[in-house]
Amino acid sequence: TQLLEQSPQFLSIQEGENLTVYCNSSSVFSSLQWYRQEPGEGPVLLVTVVTGGEVKKLKRLTFQFGDARKDSSLHITAAQPGDTGLYLCAGAGGETSGSRLTFGEGTQLTVNP
């Protein structure tokens, strides 16, 4: 059972555009993590959000954790080709996930120069 749904699944934009990726669940998570993964490599952690309503900024990336800790979003401002990659959200400490991370299927972002 897929507990985390990401949208969109694919996104192709031009350099300089803004974008938002969504991660939704019917489950409550204690924390939610966002990763970026490049082909043939393991996921690299971008951020962990813990508190409902929390907003974290990492340069041009803004992460938000929903008030109910069931959803999250990643907003990228002025996207660059170097932002291209697979963005994964993962929930921890959920009702059924226990000690594991439960991943969404990812959003494949392509930023064209």
Structure tokens at 11: 């996104």
Q: Which is nearer to another protein, 14 or 30 (CB)?
A: 30
Q: For residue 99, what are the CA distances in angstroms to 70, 96, 107?
A: 17, 9, 24
Q: Which of 54, 61, 69, 106 binds another protein (CB under 8 A)?
A: 106
Determine which residue in the list 11, 88, 109, 111 makes contact with another protein, applying CB under 8 A.
Answer: 88
Task: Single out the residue of 43, 67, 70, 77 in contact with another protein (rule: CB under 8 A).
Answer: 43
- The tokens for 46 are 């971008």
Q: Which of 94, 81, 80 is nearest to 25 (CA)?
A: 94
Least distance in angstroms from the C-beta of 81 to another protein = 21
Give the separation between CA 109 and CA 113, rounded to whole angstroms: 13
Contact positions toward another protein, by CB under 8 A? 4, 30-31, 33, 35, 40-45, 48, 50, 88, 90, 92-93, 98-106
